[in-house]
Amino acid sequence: MNSTSSEPSDEEIKAEIMYRLLRKGCWGKVYLPVDALVNWTGGKIRRNGKRVRRLIDELIHDGYAGKYKKGETIYLNFARRHEIANYIDKYLKDE
């Protein structure tokens, strides 16, 4: 269905992940399983979840998100809420 040229960029995928966590209210110790995020994005993004997991790791490394329960769940960093909102607005402005 999706051709490679119409596949979303890494930044758009990160914004989608953060937007999903934001809508679910996942701040601090309110978290969402990583597998649920991978499955949710699986319909839009190819490469069987490896790309999404790598991007989730990048979000954690950059401080936008944190992991909980031995890395099986993810939450947004409340201290960076304004940066997260700006990131989402920047990359998801068309939607």
Quick: pLDDT tens for 53-83: 999 999 999 999 999 888 899 999 999 999 9
Q: What is the pLDDT of residues 1-45, one digit of tens each?
A: 444 557 788 899 999 999 999 999 999 888 999 998 888 877 667
Distance CA 40, CA 69 (A): 20
pLDDT in the model for residue 69: 86
Confidence of residue 85 (pLDDT cuts 50, 70, 90): very high
Domains identified in the chain, total number: 1
Is 49 contained in some domain? Answer: yes
Is 1 contained in some domain? Answer: no
Residue span of the structural domain in which 25 resides: 7-91
